[in-house]
Amino acid sequence: MNLLNIAEQIEEHTAEGLVDALVRESNGAAACLTSSLQAEDMVVLHMLRQYAPQIPVIFLDTGYHFAETYAYRDHMVREWAINLKNVVPETTVAQHEGSFGKLYLVQPTQCCQMRKVDPLFRSLESYDIWYTGLRREQSPTRVNLKKVEEHKLPSGKVLQKVSPLADWKWQKVWDYINANNIPYLPLYDRGYRSIGCEPCTQQSLDPNNPRAGRWGGKKLECGIHTPSCSMD
């Protein structure tokens, strides 16, 4: 199923219309949603559940998440009966720090590669369609995001990467959450706008760049959604 053949039409779809059309026309293609449980991810999952209630939801458990993130994950799995796939790195945090120390302090890119990028890409090997909650407004690194792109994994396998909310603004995300009574991570009420691993997440001081609070401002992407991983 090559969605790029209808890329122009896809850009004209609403988020709900795109999810509806792709689920109905996927012809049995294996699909999943990757989710860090942020607001956008929960909006996309809410849409997908209308048509594919048992779609696999991949949560990347680095071992460094906020306690609130883990509690919210467990609560939503129970409340929504989510088909959660909890993906973990090859080593525990204790093993990792025993070998490298607090790598996130000195080599955050290497830490992300080992505990986020490599495990996630391995977990995507079983799928053909990869839904995300990415939006163009989230970061300068995402301004050219398309609603559908081809993504080549390190193994060479190509997935159709679908971001239904690509053209949504932040307010629209919250309008949808409020209209549909979607529970959300309580960290948002504490002023966080982009939420990842606790040691590498701060509140952004830049209202135009919510991801500026990630990694102490040293970078904006962990490596999963960088353009170098996508096929142009």
Enzyme catalytic residues: 222
The rounded distance, in Å, linking the Cα atoms of 103 and 120 is 19
Q: Which two tokens stand for residue 66?
A: 């906020």
- Characterize 172-202 residue by residue with b for buried, 16 or more Cβ atoms within 10 angstroms of its Cβ, and e for exposed: ebeebbeeeebebbebeeeebbbbbbbbbbb
- Characterize 127-149 residue by residue with b for buried, 16 or more Cβ atoms within 10 angstroms of its Cβ, and e for exposed: bbbbbbbbbbbbbeebeebbbbb
The rounded distance, in Å, linking the Cα atoms of 211 and 124 is 24
Q: Are 200 and 63 in contact (CB under 8 A)?
A: no
